[in-house]
């Protein structure tokens, strides 16, 4: 297996630990996106794409991320679940979506990505710099242009618009005539 392409998208947030996003292509046929290049205490390192771990609400069974205090669906206060711990005893809040199986593969990915990251950093100082990562959007747009247009589907005609709703009449017809009431209220409801 060979890493045939590495694309880097530098982040422009000074002072942040997240330095770039990255995608890698294996053997010109398989892409893994959203790797992160993070500034650690010993220099930059590569973090694999991941998702937040979730737990179910006890009331409605909706999924919520582990640190949520309230349910996203019903608003019930969530109990803090028993968190999984990593080798160092820290609570595990994320799970890798894709990751290397052995250390040799991890080191290969780390070396190729960090080399490409450093090259991208030096290229970014040039006046005609253009990020390599942005090409994915152009490729996806080109693929969509190649697709034949969809056949129009038959749609039921819309109904003719109806008039506005009328407020219900709350006026009760009086059993007494105007003369019996002495003319009281005459002309109020006319």
- Which CATH number covers residue 11? 3.30.1120.40
**Number of helical (H) and strand (E) elements in the chain, helices listed first:** 2, 8
Tens digits of residue pLDDT in 124-165: 888 888 877 765 555 555 555 666 766 766 777 777 877 777
Tens digits of residue pLDDT in 72-116: 999 999 887 666 777 777 778 888 888 899 999 999 999 999 999
Same domain, 3 and 44: yes
Residue ending a domain, among 94, 120, 154, is 94
* Pairwise CA distance, residues 170 & 60, whole Å: 43
> Residue holding tokens 């105007």?
178
* Pairwise CA distance, residues 42 & 12, whole Å: 21
* Pairwise CA distance, residues 53 & 55, whole Å: 7
Residue 182 lies in a domain: no
With CA atoms as reference, report the closest residue to 31 among 121, 98, 101: 98
Q: Which domain holds residue 111?
A: 1-49+97-144
Same domain, 20 and 42: yes
* Pairwise CA distance, residues 39 & 43, whole Å: 6
Query: Which pLDDT value is given to residue 171?
Result: 60
Q: Give residues with Cβ within 8 angstroms of 45, minimum separation 6.
A: 37, 38, 110, 114
Same domain, 65 and 124: no
Residue 159 lies in a domain: no
Same domain, 22 and 39: yes
> Residue holding tokens 């205090």?
69
pTM: 0.59
Q: Which percentage of the chain shows pLDDT scores above 70?
A: 75
* Pairwise CA distance, residues 53 & 92, whole Å: 8
């Amino acid at each position: 297996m060979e890493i045939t392409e590495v694309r880097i998208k530098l982040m422009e947030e000074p002072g942040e630990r997240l330095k770039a996003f990255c995608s890698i292509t294996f053997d010109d046929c398989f892409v893994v996106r959203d790797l992160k290049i993070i500034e650690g205490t010993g220099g930059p390192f590569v973090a694999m794409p991941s998702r937040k771990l979730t737990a179910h609400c006890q009331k409605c069974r909706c999924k919520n991320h582990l640190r949520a205090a309230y349910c996203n669906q019903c608003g019930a206060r969530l109990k803090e679940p028993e968190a999984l711990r990593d080798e160092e005893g820290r609570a595990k809040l994320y799970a890798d979506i894709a990751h290397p199986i052995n250390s040799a593969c991890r080191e290969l990915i780390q070396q190729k990505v960090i080399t490409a990251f450093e090259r991208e950093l030096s290229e970014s100082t040039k006046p005609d710099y253009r990020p390599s990562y942005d090409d994915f959007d152009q490729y996806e747009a080109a693929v969509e242009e190649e697709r034949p247009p969809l056949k129009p589907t038959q749609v039921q005609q819309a109904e003719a618009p109806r008039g506005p709703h009328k407020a219900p009449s709350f006026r009760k017809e009086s059993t007494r005539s105007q003369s019996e009431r002495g003319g009281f209220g005459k002309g109020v409801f006319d």
